[in-house]
Amino acid sequence: MKEKKIAAVVGIFLGLVFIISMFFLIKIYGTSSMKEGSYAKIYQKGRFVKKISMEEETTFIIEGKHGKYNKVQVKDGAIGIVEASCPDFLCGKMGFLSKGPIPITCLPNELVIEIYNEGEGAQNTYNNSNENKEAGVNEQEEIDGVVY
Amino acid sequence: MKKQKAVSIFALVIFMGCMLLITSLKEETDTEVYEKTDILMGTNFQGTIYGGKEDILPDLVMELRNLELETLSAKEESSEIGKLNTTGGQGNYVKISEQLCGYLNDTLNISEQSSGALDPTVGNISGLWDFGGANERLPGQEEIERELSKVGYEKILRKEKAVLLPKEMTIDLGAVGKGIGTDYAADYIRENEDIKGAVIALGGSIAILGSKPDGEIFKLAIVNPRGENGEILGILSLKGDCFISTSGDYEKCFIIDGKRYHHILNPKTGYPAESGLISVTVVCNSGLKSDGLSTACFVLGLDEGMKLLEKYGAEGIFVDEDKNVYVTEGMASLFTLKAKEYKVVE
């Protein structure tokens, strides 16, 4: 009887350890492989302002000080600046981008829009459109930066 | 009894297995990753640091901003360069900091070695064109000739930590500014021994340091000079530490009557360089050098550019207007061409 009790306690203990192990395993593994879809992160003056899914259809204004603003639009899986207070409108001239790695930048308003494509969280990915269209695949390679 | 023992042993094995797995995974994911995006030196800053006790990126950004405002910026009247630029023609040597002296010497060294293909005194002409600015335009021939007379790095006189500028001459370190920024960032990061690796990008000038936590090599994309929406020319696989810069005719440019006017000026003519190249990427052991050499090589063209890189022990990737890609020997195995309309010429 005593042995049975000990076995039960050990069993419960190991069961608990197993459940806790699985919990951590999922936590560690799960988050890194979870697909988020394409999204964009908007920064103003070095501060993170907004994360937005590229699947949305939306238009919004990011306001700065002294009447500065950038009107951002997300449509058809791409993001771009359609109106801005900056004198050169270089940010708008960059057009609509659907993939990284070069961010949309508005220097006068200190605004940066980084685009992250489907896949693992932190790093930019790219897909070479021509190659992939021909091959019929949507393979992406992770990169650590881009020189331009 | 036997059954119980077997179950216990089985459970114990599973338990130990799980613990082993967790500890091994934990080691792998233990490295902290810090990231920051900002605007600096007239371009975007993107920093990623692997490891380290705390996030030093905000402090680094502050330091770089100070470097720009207090030392490098030709637009800031109160910066060292700004002050120096008001002294042209005064006839006396002006003292400069050891830091600026170092940057200036390294820049002028490239000017000398490239026979003036990189010239920090060309700033006034760049101002006429104002590429990427609100007053972007095609200046008249007379205007350019007038400013051209004030250009010439060899007219800058130096002794120890002092500089004498001739009348109306100004210095602009814009062509190497981002490279200097990545050098500064690299030194700053290296002071923290517990940082394992980092990628610091100032616009298209990048420093890669140490290694990634997973031990993988760094992959950098070179942008397709004739692509749209950030298409890629190819991938460079590199180990830290090294510095990478690209100069191309596609950034900050405008087209009039089908002719492309880009921001890399030939200091001899005052007009955009026409060397047959559309993009040059340089990899070497210093940000200032990679930045300055990519500009100089772009102006010099393929043959002279290759010779210049040899002098510095630097590597490079040259792309000409016929979409031929020329890769230096040391880069050949590290570069993978991705854009199909280009071809690598052996």
pLDDT, one tens digit per residue, over A38-82 is 899 999 988 899 999 999 899 999 999 889 999 999 999 999 999
Query: What pLDDT score does B335 carry?
Result: 97
Query: What pLDDT score does A33 carry?
Result: 43
Confidence of residue A30 (pLDDT cuts 50, 70, 90): low
pLDDT of residue B317 exceeding 60, the answer is yes
CB contact under 8 A, B14 and A14: yes
Alpha-carbon distance A17 to B166, whole Å? 78
Query: What pLDDT score does B228 carry?
Result: 78
Q: Position A5: which residue type? A: K
User: Which residue reads 């790093």 in tokens?
Assistant: A123
Name the closest residue on chain A to residue B220, using Cα atoms. Answer: A145
Q: Tens of pLDDT along B15-30?
A: 777 677 766 665 555 7
DSSP code, position B286: -
Q: Distance of CA B274 to CAs A144, B96, B267, B298, B302, Å? A: 32, 35, 12, 9, 11
CB-facing half-sphere around the CA of B282: CA atoms within 13 A: 30
Query: How is chain B split into domains, by residue range?
Result: 33-345
Give Cβ neighbours of residue A116 (< 8 Å, ≥ 6 apart). Answer: A36, A38, A39, A40, A41, A100, A124, A125
CB-CB contact of A42 with A52 (8 Å):
yes
- Please indicate if any CB of chain A lies within 8 Å of the CB of B255: no
Query: What pLDDT score does A83 carry?
Result: 95
CB contact under 8 A, A147 and B244: yes
User: Mean pLDDT over all residues of chain A?
Assistant: 78
Mutate to test the interface with B, among A17, A45, A147 (most CBs of B within 10 A): A147
Give Cβ neighbours of residue B258 (< 8 Å, ≥ 6 apart). Answer: none
Q: Tens of pLDDT along B135-152?
A: 889 999 999 999 999 999
Mean pLDDT of B204-211: 95
* Cβ neighbours, 10 Å, residue B97: 12
Give Cβ neighbours of residue B307 (< 8 Å, ≥ 6 apart). Answer: none
Pick A39-142's CATH classification: 2.60.320.10, 3.30.1330.90, 3.30.465.10, 2.40.50.140.
2.60.320.10
Query: What pLDDT score does A98 carry?
Result: 85
Mean pLDDT of B215-231: 88
Mean pLDDT of A119-137: 43
User: Mean pLDDT over all residues of chain B?
Assistant: 92
CB-CB contact of A88 with B132 (8 Å):
yes
Q: Position B299: which residue type? A: V
Q: Tens of pLDDT along B284-297?
A: 999 999 999 999 99
Phi-psi region of B318 (alpha: psi -120 to 50; beta: other; left: phi over 0): beta
Can you point out the beta strands (E) in chain A? Answer: 39-44, 47-53, 58-63, 69-75, 78-84, 104-106, 111-116, 125-126, 141-142, 145-147
pLDDT of residue B52 exceeding 60, the answer is yes
pLDDT of residue B269 exceeding 90, the answer is yes
Nearest by CB: B231 against A43, A112, A128 = A128
Q: Tens of pLDDT along A33-43?
A: 445 688 999 99
Alpha-carbon distance B290 to B73, whole Å? 19
User: Which residue reads 């130990």 in tokens?
Assistant: B16
- Show residues of chain A in contact with B134, CB under 8 Å: 87-88
Question: When comparing pLDDT for A2 and B277, which is higher?
Answer: B277
Q: Tens of pLDDT along B61-94?
A: 999 999 999 999 999 999 999 999 999 888 899 9
Give Cβ neighbours of residue B171 (< 8 Å, ≥ 6 apart). Answer: B74, B81, B84, B85, B104, B120, B121, B123, B156, B165
- Please indicate if any CB of chain A lies within 8 Å of the CB of B199: yes
CB contact under 8 A, B4 and A29: no
Mean pLDDT of B33-44: 92
Can you point out the beta strands (E) in chain B? Answer: 33-40, 43-51, 94-95, 157-159, 162-164, 195-202, 205-210, 218-223, 232-238, 242-248, 253-256, 259-262, 277-284, 315-320, 324-327, 335-337, 343-345
CB contact under 8 A, A28 and B29: yes
Q: Position B131: which residue type? A: F
Query: What pLDDT score does B26 carry?
Result: 56
Mean pLDDT of A11-39: 70
Query: How is chain A split into domains, by residue range?
Result: 1-34, 39-142
Name the closest residue on chain A to residue B290, using Cα atoms. Answer: A147
* Residues β-bridged to residue B198: B49, B209
Question: When comparing pLDDT for B27 and B159, which is higher?
Answer: B159
- Show residues of chain B in contact with A142, CB under 8 Å: 219
DSSP code, position A65: G
Classify B68 as helix, strand or coil: helix
CB contact under 8 A, A122 and B12: no
Q: Among the listed ranges B107-121, B187-201, B245-259, which one has the minimum average pLDDT value?
A: B245-259
Q: Distance of CA A123 to CAs A32, B21, B194, Å? A: 11, 25, 22
* Residues β-bridged to residue B146: none
Query: What pLDDT score does A128 carry?
Result: 45
Domain B33-345 CATH assignment equals 3.30.230.70 = no
- Show residues of chain A in contact with B29, CB under 8 Å: 28
**Stretch 74-133 of chain A: residues touching chain B, C-beta under 8 Å:** 87-88, 90, 95, 97-103, 105, 107, 110-112, 114, 122, 126, 128-131
Classify B315 as helix, strand or coil: strand
Confidence of residue B125 (pLDDT cuts 50, 70, 90): very high
pLDDT of residue A120 exceeding 60, the answer is no
Nearest by CB: A145 against B7, B206, B248 = B206
pLDDT of residue A132 exceeding 80, the answer is no
**Alpha helix ranges (H) inside B156-197:** 174-190
Alpha-carbon distance A79 to A85, whole Å? 18
**Stretch 169-188 of chain B: residues touching chain A, C-beta under 8 Å:** none
